[in-house]
Amino acid sequence: MTEWDRALNYIDGRWEEGSSGEFAENINPATNEVLGTVTLSTTEDVNRAVRAAEAAFRKWRLVPAPRRAQVLYRVGELLRQRKEQLARILTQEMGKVLEEARGEVQEAIDMAFYMGGEGRRLFGQTTPSELPNKMALSVREPVGVVGLITPWNFPIAIASWKSLPAIVAGNTVVWKPATETPFMAREFVKIYEEAGLPPGVLNLVYGSGSVVGEALVEHPGVQVISFTGSNEVGRSIAAKAGARLKRVSLEMGGKNAVIVMDDANMSLAVDAILWGAFGTTGQRCTATSRVIVHRSVKAQLEQMLLDRIPGLPIGNGLDEHVRIGPVINAVSLRRIHDYVQIGLQEGARLLTGGHTVEPSGLRGFYYAPTVFTDATADMRIAQEEIFGPVVTLIPVDSLEDAIQVNNRVAFGLSSSIFTQDVNRVFTAMRDLDTGIVYVNAGTTGAEIHLPFGGTKGTGNGHRDSGQAALDVFTEWKSIYVDFSGTLQRAQIDVGNV
Ligand code: NAP
Ligand code: MG
């Protein structure tokens, strides 16, 4: 290990150790090998990072937005130059296969250029006043210091969804990444530094959620918290932030379904289910975790899945022919296996999988792609997020049933329908109550210029990505300019025309 294998905090433009003096190991889940270590911080480090961000905000908010955007364009360039190197670090750090890791870095590249473009937009409204010789407009203002708390499953994409709009809008940032993926955070911050971001605009503080995350949520100097992660943690953040009247944007779990109707293009549906259920080893918030299948095509679908699953090699994601990498850690492996036992006890039928795997020579955390069938909508395996390579088939008899089953979960992130019938398509588009709906495509595949997020237990009404992200990181200011030279009173001095 070299000095660079220790991930350090970045506060006010300096790389430094956290004040706890302790380090955690960064494990490669494909091999169980130690890649390096990450510094652990205390509340004191968070306080210093917030002070640095507060000081930087006083200048950064006054830099014209198109100039702030120049930094984002350079970030995009550097990400593009380093795409392969970053993808390899990403695969080693959290396990997803190289092809998907490249896709994730591409998402950050796209976001950098898209949000760079926002530097020349950040549009508000200009509107006539109801009074003569007066004009009215609205502008987006940065909010101040924002706290970002991100998960390990998309360590650079999600960080890009949050940091790029926050920074282009003129805010300054304190970022706490997941302790499981410290190197991607370090690489991303290094790129911001090289791109010329002034010290203090983006600060990185490593440490556990319960220490560093909570300190950010509770710090009075942090105006906004943008969080992606589990429902449980999101709920506790919302409660604490609510008591402080702090704005919080939450993106949390999903229980996403593909609906396969009796007129579906079956081979396309199978492609989508395999990609959605087993891509990123099922550890995507938009993973396909349920398949709601018309009873008349259920047996055919089961057989097609059984035929295809043995063709998905399991192993180290650095190996280009591997299609399913490891899960993140041993705790996760156990949790997934526990859910499989629950499914069996509930009476669902295990079609394939349901056990750990040891690809030759690898000591990582592997689970076989697992399919349950003949489940009912109220079983726990059909209701709770498993976050592993497990998908559950639920038979139904009509589109109405399918939509009802789709909607009868606590989450509302993504849903998908396979059908050739335009009337069914438009009914589903209207009635599926998730933040994202796909037609004849699987549950994953969001593009960065559209809003990303979910309804019900998945979120709290905010969205990442697209222009919607700016709503999280800006405050509206309405400005009235009166050039009449008299006191004009709205709603009172409006004469008849
Ligand atoms: P997690 O345990 O909730 O952790 C997410 C982040 O929150 C990590 O940085 C974690 O830090 C931090 N954290 C933990 N406890 C905290 C606390 N008390 N206060 C403040 N921060 C705290 O989730 P995860 O296991 O990393 O990620 C998986 C979850 O994320 C799944 O539920 C998945 O569906 C969801 N997800 C949602 C989306 C979406 O956009 N809807 C996208 C991706 C993932 P440490 O881990 O370092 O302690
Ligand atoms: Mg790791």
Q: In this structure, which residue's CA is closest to atom 18 in ligand 1? A: 210
Ligand 1 lined by 57 (C-beta under 6 Å): no
By the 8 A CB rule, do 475 and 140 touch? yes
Ligand 1 lined by 236 (C-beta under 6 Å): yes
Going from the Cα of 27 to the center of ligand 2, the distance in angstroms, rounded, reads 4
Q: Summarize the confidence of residues 95-112 as an average pLDDT.
A: 98
Going from the Cα of 30 to the center of ligand 2, the distance in angstroms, rounded, reads 9
Backbone angles phi, psi at 169, to 5 degrees: -80, -5
Whole-number pLDDT of residue 360: 87
Whole-number pLDDT of residue 494: 76
Ligand 1 lined by 230 (C-beta under 6 Å): yes
By the 8 A CB rule, do 175 and 207 touch? no
Q: Given 3-state DSSP classes, what are the helix, strand and coil percentages for the chain, each rounded to the nearest 5?
A: 40, 25, 35
Ligand 1 lined by 154 (C-beta under 6 Å): yes
By the 8 A CB rule, do 372 and 381 touch? yes
Ligand 1 lined by 327 (C-beta under 6 Å): no
Active site residue 285: yes
Going from the Cα of 186 to the center of ligand 1, the distance in angstroms, rounded, reads 18
Count Cβ atoms below 10 Å from residue 423 Cβ, excluding itself.
Answer: 9
Which three-class secondary structure state does DSSP give residue 16? Answer: strand
DSSP 40-109: ---HHHHHHHHHHHHHHHHHHTTS-HHHHHHHHHHHHHHHHHTHHHHHHHHHHHH---HHHHHHHHHHHH
Which three-class secondary structure state does DSSP give residue 274? Answer: helix
Ligand 1 lined by 296 (C-beta under 6 Å): no
Whole-number pLDDT of residue 114: 98
Output the CA angle 254-413-380, nearest 5 degrees. 30
Q: Where are the domains of the chain?
A: 3-252+459-478, 256-439
DSSP 215-244: HHHH-TT--EEEEES-HHHHHHHHHHHHHT
Output the CA angle 293-295-300, nearest 5 degrees. 80
Ligand 1 lined by 285 (C-beta under 6 Å): yes
Ramachandran bin of 59, using left for φ above 0, alpha for ψ from -120 to 50, beta for the remaining angles:
alpha
Ligand 1 lined by 209 (C-beta under 6 Å): yes
Going from the Cα of 286 to the center of ligand 1, the distance in angstroms, rounded, reads 14
User: What gap in Å lies between CA 354 and CA 24, rounded to an integer?
Assistant: 31
By the 8 A CB rule, do 359 and 314 touch? yes
- Give residue-wise pLDDT tens across range 197-227: 999 999 999 999 999 999 999 999 999 999 9
By the 8 A CB rule, do 437 and 287 touch? no
- Give residue-wise pLDDT tens across range 249-301: 999 999 999 999 999 999 999 999 999 999 999 999 999 999 999 999 999 99
Ligand 1 atom nearest 217 alpha carbon: 20
Structure tokens at 298: 């259920």
Largest CA distance in the chain: 85
Helix (H) or strand (E) holding 335: helix 330-346
4 pLDDT tier (thresholds 50, 70, 90)? low
Structure tokens at 294: 């018309």
Q: In this structure, which residue's CA is closest to atom 12 in ligand 1? A: 209
Catalytic residue from among 93, 100, 214, 251: 251
Out of 41, 153, 206, mutate this one to test ligand 1's pocket (max ligand atoms within 8 Å of CB): namely 153
Q: What ligand has the least distance to the C-alpha of 209?
A: 1
User: What gap in Å lies between CA 212 and CA 403, rounded to an integer?
Assistant: 41
Out of 41, 149, 472, mutate this one to test ligand 1's pocket (max ligand atoms within 8 Å of CB): namely 149
Tell me: domain 3-252+459-478, CATH 3.40.50.10070, correct?
no
DSSP 347-412: T-EEEE--SEE--TT--S-EE--EEEES--TTSGGGTS---SSEEEEEEESSHHHHHHHHHSSSEE
Out of 162, 252, 464, mutate this one to test ligand 1's pocket (max ligand atoms within 8 Å of CB): namely 252
User: What gap in Å lies between CA 301 and CA 293, rounded to an integer?
Assistant: 8
Pick the CATH number of 256-439 from 3.40.47.10, 3.40.309.10, 3.10.20.600, 3.40.50.300: 3.40.309.10
Q: Which residues pair with 228 in a beta bridge?
A: 251
Half-sphere exposure of residue 395, counting CA atoms within 13 Å on the CB side? 13
Catalytic residue from among 93, 187, 214, 285: 285
Ligand 1 atom nearest 454 alpha carbon: 41
Q: In this structure, which residue's CA is closest to atom 23 in ligand 1? A: 229
Q: Summarize the confidence of residues 93-108 as an average pLDDT.
A: 98
Going from the Cα of 180 to the center of ligand 2, the distance in angstroms, rounded, reads 4
By the 8 A CB rule, do 184 and 151 touch? no
By the 8 A CB rule, do 271 and 444 touch? no
- Give residue-wise pLDDT tens across range 454-492: 999 999 999 999 999 999 999 999 999 999 999 999 999
Overall size of the chain counted in residues: 497
Ligand 1 lined by 233 (C-beta under 6 Å): yes
Which three-class secondary structure state does DSSP give residue 26? Answer: strand
Whole-number pLDDT of residue 3: 52
Average predicted confidence (pLDDT) for the chain = 97
By the 8 A CB rule, do 304 and 267 touch? yes
Ligand 1 lined by 253 (C-beta under 6 Å): yes
Q: Summarize the confidence of residues 60-82 as an average pLDDT.
A: 98
245 pLDDT tier (thresholds 50, 70, 90)? very high
Active site residue 302: no
User: What gap in Å lies between CA 288 and CA 377, rounded to an integer?
Assistant: 15
Helix (H) or strand (E) holding 300: helix 295-308
Q: Summarize the confidence of residues 114-131 as an average pLDDT.
A: 97
> What global pTM score does this model have?
0.97
Residue 1 pLDDT exceeds 60? no
Ligand 1 atom nearest 459 alpha carbon: 41
Ligand 1 lined by 173 (C-beta under 6 Å): no
Whole-number pLDDT of residue 497: 63
